[in-house]
Amino acid sequence: MSHPESFLLQGRRIWVTGGNGFLGRQVVAELQRRGAEVLAPRSSELDLLDPAAAARFIRQHRPSGVVHLAARVGGIGANRAHPGSFFFANMAMGLHLIEACRAERIEKVLVLGTVCAYPKFCPVPFHEDDLWNGYPEETNAPYGVAKKALLVQLQAYRQEYGTRGIFLIPVNLYGPGDHLDLATNHVIPALIRKFLEAKNQGHDHVELWGTGSPSREFLFVEDAAQGIVEGLSRYEGEDPVNLGTGAEITIRDLALKIQALTGFTGELRFNPAYPDGQPRRQLDTSRALERFGWQAPTGLDEGLRRTVAWMQGALASAGPS
């Protein structure tokens, strides 16, 4: 089935919030490859928590489209430590941005959601129609609920004002260019770093949070960027759309894959005193293929190999921790 480009990117000016982040850099590059002119101011230059900042920026630069990736994010530890600031920041940034897009008549708006918005006990694979059938997993519920509210805002604005807004929900991302901070990063870079450092320091074991039994699905960051840009150019519906691979893996099996790629030969010790988070996480990815012809091309083994190679170089460049 053909999915024509309904929002032509060639020569268009697109504002990408969060465009200097892990995912944002890839989205900016993909948009530029498609011939768009991209605006990606840093948060130090444009504070989206200022209610008037987005409208000022739009009036000054007149973009045709906006891709909202900026978010206050982190792993389980960061979400547990900062539930209030995570809720406020994600709600406020999106709320004022979508309103500014409406008021300034932006032609098309894409808002990125989060898999954390799904109910804690959701039928697997997660289908977009299940989004409202329960409360999210407690440790990241404030972040998830704030993001889900932005979907409601987009749908309400489409109904009342005709705002052309779409909402995409990516699964857990990984890949080269992720940040290296163990206190705030996600599971794949955290595991890679732990194994590489344990190997380099001659440790006989690595301790990992939780039981290892939960499953997760992981999407290579370059694939996510391509999916976002395809959605911006080809999708026009009000329904949320998952972005993922449709394949899940337990944390224990993921750890074993990364252990083999890093060459660490010691023992894995799971510590059940730490929370596991959501029990299973796997997306139904059929809607993205049906609505705008996208599916993820990179398998987990290839993506992990490229990510480990990148992190080995990045940690070597960073020097001793």
> Domain with 155 in it: what CATH number?
3.40.50.720
State mean pLDDT over 92-107: 98
Whether residue 260 is contained in a domain is answered as no
Neighbours of 308 (CB within 10 A): 23
In this structure, is residue 158 part of a structural domain?
A: yes
pLDDT bucket at 2, cuts 50 / 70 / 90: confident
Query: In the chain, what percentage of residues exceed pLDDT 90?
Result: 83
> How many domains would you assign to the chain?
1
* Of 174, 192, 172, 173, nearest in space to 182 by CA: 192
Taking only the tens place, the pLDDT of each residue in 211-254 is: 999 999 999 999 999 999 999 999 999 999 999 999 999 999 99
pLDDT at residue 274 is higher than 90: no
Q: How confident is the model at residue 320 (pLDDT cuts 50, 70, 90)?
A: low
227 in a structural domain: yes
- Whether 118 is catalytic is no
Q: Is the pLDDT of residue 321 over 60?
A: no
Q: Is 66 within 8 Å of 106 (Cβ atoms)? A: yes
Peptide bond connecting 125 to the previous residue in cis, omega within 30 degrees of 0:
yes
> Among 42-51, 72-81, 140-149, 237-246, where is mean pLDDT lowest?
72-81
**Shortest CA distance to 176 belongs to which of 225, 246, 215, 214?**
225
pLDDT 10s digits, 4-16: 999 999 999 999 9
Residue from 118, 143, 174, 235 carrying the catalytic annotation:
143
pLDDT for 119 beyond 60: yes
| Residue at 233 is within a domain | yes
Reply yes or no on whether the pLDDT at 76 is more than 80.
no
Residue 154 included in any domain: yes
All residues at 6 or more sequence positions from 77 whose CB lies less than 8 Å from its CB, including other chains: 183, 184
Q: Does any domain span residue 207?
A: no
- pLDDT confidence of 184, banded at 50, 70, 90? low
What proportion of the chain, given as a percentage, has pLDDT over 70? 95
Range of the domain at 63: 13-174+218-246+280-297
CB neighbourhood size of 272 (10 A)? 11
Residue 72 pLDDT more than 90? no
Quote the pTM value. Answer: 0.93
> Measured between alpha carbons, how far is 25 from 117 in angstroms, rounded to an integer?
24
Indicate whether 150 belongs to any domain.
yes
**Domain presence at residue 251:** no
Distance (Å, whole) CA 114 – CA 96: 19
pLDDT band with cut points at 50, 70 and 90 for residue 185: low
What pLDDT sits at residue 1? Answer: 63
What pLDDT score was predicted for residue 140? 86
- Token look-up 């510590």 returns 271
